A and B are shown apart, each in its own frame.
Chain A
Amino acid sequence: MNAFEFSTAPIDGTALAAPLARPAAGGFAAFEGRVRDLNEGRRVTALDYEAFESLATAEGARIVEAAVARHGAIAGRCVHRLGPLAVGDVAIWVGVAAAHRAEAFAACREIIDAIKHRLPIWKKEHYADGDSGWVNCEHAAAQGAGAAAFDYSRQRTLPEVGDAGQARLAAARVLVVGAGGLGCAVLASLAGAGVGEITIVDHDVIDASNLHRQPLYALADVGRRKAEAAAMRLAAYNPELSLRPVTRRFDAALAAELVAAADVVVDCTDNFATKFLVNDAAMRAGVPAVLASIYQYEGQLQVVRPDRDGSCLRCQWPEPTRDGLVGNCAEAGVLGPVPAVLGQMQAMEVLKLLLDLPGQLENEIVLVDLLAQDTRHLAAPRNPGCAGRCVRFGAATAAIDVDVTLPLEAAAAAGYRIVDIREPMECEFEPMPVSGHEAVPLGRLLDGGLQVEGSRPCLLVCAHGVRSRAAAEFLRARGHANVWSLRGGLAAQAP
């Protein structure tokens, strides 16, 4: 059985469905497209179907297989009639077997839509008034008769890619967060490679000062939403793709929703807060994340692999509160090729992941200096005391209020037991302003190194109140109700 076939004989849905029966298939959805008696206001009495069979068969099979894989269905097939048909005849049949109805319906719907949109099939309509005419199928109407199809042959020729690799790319869902300098480079390469579904998140609008390093946008696009302008540009570039622009602000809820639905997430944002959101959502969902950041003539690249129990952004950088400490593109300046190069490096890592190519980055950070043309790999293994452990084990309980706003002296006077959870190095550089405190670094605390007494309130302190909050929530979740976090950390204390 081929996933897509043409038939000159009438279609028998029951017979076509039989080979799709599986013990695990609790759901089966079928769609029949039939010849209608009316098209664009004219009475139709009969039809003739013609197709470029070899091209349509191969492409049809790709569509069915991609939809089955994308929606997690078990098996699917599609049969299209050729030759003369009468009104009421079945012209196309699609069937999908899946564990549950949702996947079966979704894959079935995607197959019929894609077949109608993409396959080179034409029909000759015979009208009641005796006239007849060839009607382009939607594929031809959309692309113009004789227009070339997007041709992946140069990458398909690579032995590591081939037809199987191309099908994997077509079935892949990639989330790109940020459509700026990095994002433009990533998006162009992923769309060119034929990544089937690309979600583009950016709530920003295009500014004229973006154009020198964001070549997906034209001068006339200034003021438009980046995600929408990028999606439109890429749809014209490669009409085969499913492009989904999202213009909502990327907050924790949106991150959780979108990251969980992706095979890979690419961080192309320009601020620490969002980078940590991407990192945390990827860690929780077990989805690989490709992160990059740039500064003037340099960049950093890191691939987070929760699927391989790899290190994460927090293993190296415990807190996401450094926005404003170092300059961004607007303040520090940037040369256009810098995000372009780093973005292409990200796209390369995404393709390596999707195609399972050798050399995938993990547990390291790559520093790229484009003035010296120097690339340096720094080993960055998992930090056993990583603040990300809270994330890794899925403690998403922000609803509990554990924060205390108090000067430390007042807290000590009020009887709080004060525990400094920073790393020894940080304590040395910035000593605690009160005496009588204990030092229990976060890693040790998470390993059970802090004995909490129920009767005395315990106040955890870190640099900015982020790690202490996570640690307090961690201990609360383990039944220690009298644990608190100093809001804003030492940075919020009066000098």
Chain B
Amino acid sequence: MRVNLRYYALLREQAGRQLEIVDTAAATPAALYAELAARHGFRLPASQLRVAVNAAFCDWQRPLEDGDEIVFIPPVAGG
């Protein structure tokens, strides 16, 4: 399964990119984040993030499908 990823803020910095296309066997955003956290060294636990699939916030257990666009959103507070 191939999915499109978009990173923001701290995750963009740690991944060193804003966009990424990955081939994965992860069935859910939770599993996918665990996989990516290991690869990119993300320090934020998933409990501090929100995930959106295809432009809507969703549950971490939502099943993923080929071609999904997944956005991991870290909290941001600057003003």
> Contacts A367-B73, A369-B8, A378-B71: A425 and B55 contacting too (C-beta < 8 A)?
no
- On whether the beta carbons of A325 and B18 are closer than 8 Å, the reply is no
- On whether the beta carbons of B60 and A425 are closer than 8 Å, the reply is yes
Task: Tell me, rounded to whole Å, the shortest Cβ–Cβ distance linking A400 to chain B.
Answer: 27
Task: Tell me, rounded to whole Å, the shortest Cβ–Cβ distance linking A127 to chain B.
Answer: 57
- On whether the beta carbons of A317 and B76 are closer than 8 Å, the reply is no
* Additional A-B contact list (4), CB under 8 Å, known A322-B75, A328-B78, A381-B57: A298-B8, A371-B18, A423-B47, A425-B30
Chain B, Cβ-Cβ closest to A331: B78
* A248 at the B interface (CB under 8 A): no
- On whether the beta carbons of A293 and B78 are closer than 8 Å, the reply is yes
**Which residue of B10, B12, B45, B56 contacts A378 across the interface (Cβ within 8 Å)?**
B56
Chain B residues lying within 8 Å of A424, measured Cβ to Cβ, are: 61
Main DSSP-derived SS at the B contact region = mixed
> Contacts A367-B71, A379-B57: A372 and B18 contacting too (C-beta < 8 A)?
yes
* A181 at the B interface (CB under 8 A): yes
Task: Tell me, rounded to whole Å, the shortest Cβ–Cβ distance linking A81 to chain B.
Answer: 51
* A394 at the B interface (CB under 8 A): no
Binds B, one of A14-22, A191-199, A266-274: A266-274
> Contacts A378-B52, A426-B47: A270 and B57 contacting too (C-beta < 8 A)?
no
**Which residue of A183, A292, A316 contacts B50 across the interface (Cβ within 8 Å)?**
A316
Chain B residues lying within 8 Å of A131, measured Cβ to Cβ, are: none
Chain A, Cβ-Cβ closest to B45: A429
Chain B residues lying within 8 Å of A429, measured Cβ to Cβ, are: 30, 45-47
* A416 at the B interface (CB under 8 A): no
- On whether the beta carbons of B44 and A325 are closer than 8 Å, the reply is yes
When chains A and B are docked, how far (Å) is the Cα of A207 from the Cα of B13? 27
* A332 at the B interface (CB under 8 A): yes
**Could you tell me which residues of chain A, from 281 to 330, have a CB within 8 Å of some CB in chain B?**
292-296, 298-300, 316-317, 322-323, 325-329
* A190 at the B interface (CB under 8 A): no
Chain B residues lying within 8 Å of A73, measured Cβ to Cβ, are: none
- On whether the beta carbons of B79 and A181 are closer than 8 Å, the reply is yes
**Could you tell me which residues of chain B, from 50 to 79, have a CB within 8 Å of some CB in chain A?**
50, 52, 55-57, 59-61, 71, 73-79
Task: Tell me, rounded to whole Å, the shortest Cβ–Cβ distance linking B62 to chain A.
Answer: 11
**Contact-residue bracket for chain B:** 20 to 34
Chain B, Cβ-Cβ closest to A178: B79
- On whether the beta carbons of B77 and A316 are closer than 8 Å, the reply is no
- On whether the beta carbons of B57 and A316 are closer than 8 Å, the reply is yes
> Contacts A425-B30, A425-B60, A430-B45: A300 and B55 contacting too (C-beta < 8 A)?
no
When chains A and B are docked, how far (Å) is the Cα of A372 from the Cα of B12? 12
* A465 at the B interface (CB under 8 A): no
- On whether the beta carbons of B55 and A379 are closer than 8 Å, the reply is yes
- On whether the beta carbons of B45 and A269 are closer than 8 Å, the reply is no
- On whether the beta carbons of A295 and B79 are closer than 8 Å, the reply is no
Chain A residues lying within 8 Å of B10, measured Cβ to Cβ, are: 295, 326-327
Chain A residues lying within 8 Å of B6, measured Cβ to Cβ, are: 376
Chain B residues lying within 8 Å of A325, measured Cβ to Cβ, are: 44, 48, 75
Chain B, Cβ-Cβ closest to A424: B61
When chains A and B are docked, how far (Å) is the Cα of A268 from the Cα of B78? 9
Task: Tell me, rounded to whole Å, the shortest Cβ–Cβ distance linking B5 to chain A.
Answer: 13
* B27 at the A interface (CB under 8 A): no
Chain A residues lying within 8 Å of B9, measured Cβ to Cβ, are: 295-296, 298, 326
> Contacts A379-B57, A430-B45: A329 and B78 contacting too (C-beta < 8 A)?
yes
The 10 residue pairs across chains A and B that have the minimum distance between CB atoms: A270-B79, A379-B56, A425-B60, A293-B76, A426-B47, A295-B9, A294-B78, A295-B76, A378-B52, A329-B78
Task: Tell me, rounded to whole Å, the shortest Cβ–Cβ distance linking B10 to chain A.
Answer: 5
Chain B residues lying within 8 Å of A269, measured Cβ to Cβ, are: 77, 79
**Which residue of B12, B46, B79 contacts A268 across the interface (Cβ within 8 Å)?**
B79
- On whether the beta carbons of A378 and B44 are closer than 8 Å, the reply is no
Task: Tell me, rounded to whole Å, the shortest Cβ–Cβ distance linking A24 to chain B.
Answer: 44
A–B complex contacts, Cβ < 8 Å, 10 sampled: A178-B79, A181-B78, A269-B77, A292-B79, A293-B77, A295-B9, A325-B48, A371-B18, A378-B56, A425-B47
Task: Tell me, rounded to whole Å, the shortest Cβ–Cβ distance linking A437 to chain B.
Answer: 17
Chain B residues lying within 8 Å of A249, measured Cβ to Cβ, are: none
Chain A, Cβ-Cβ closest to B30: A425
- On whether the beta carbons of A332 and B78 are closer than 8 Å, the reply is yes
Residue among B8, B50, B60, B77 facing the most chain A CB atoms (10 A cut-off) = B77
* A380 at the B interface (CB under 8 A): yes
- On whether the beta carbons of B61 and A425 are closer than 8 Å, the reply is yes
Task: Tell me, rounded to whole Å, the shortest Cβ–Cβ distance linking A167 to chain B.
Answer: 31
When chains A and B are docked, how far (Å) is the Cα of A316 from the Cα of B30? 16
- On whether the beta carbons of A271 and B77 are closer than 8 Å, the reply is yes
- On whether the beta carbons of B55 and A326 are closer than 8 Å, the reply is no
When chains A and B are docked, how far (Å) is the Cα of A426 from the Cα of B76? 20
Chain A residues lying within 8 Å of B50, measured Cβ to Cβ, are: 316-317
When chains A and B are docked, how far (Å) is the Cα of A298 from the Cα of B71? 14
- On whether the beta carbons of B61 and A367 are closer than 8 Å, the reply is no
When chains A and B are docked, how far (Å) is the Cα of A430 from the Cα of B56? 25
**Could you tell me which residues of chain A, from 397 to 432, have a CB within 8 Å of some CB in chain B?**
422-426, 428-430
Task: Tell me, rounded to whole Å, the shortest Cβ–Cβ distance linking A403 to chain B.
Answer: 21
Task: Tell me, rounded to whole Å, the shortest Cβ–Cβ distance linking A489 to chain B.
Answer: 11
When chains A and B are docked, how far (Å) is the Cα of A327 from the Cα of B78? 8
* A334 at the B interface (CB under 8 A): yes
When chains A and B are docked, how far (Å) is the Cα of A334 from the Cα of B52? 25
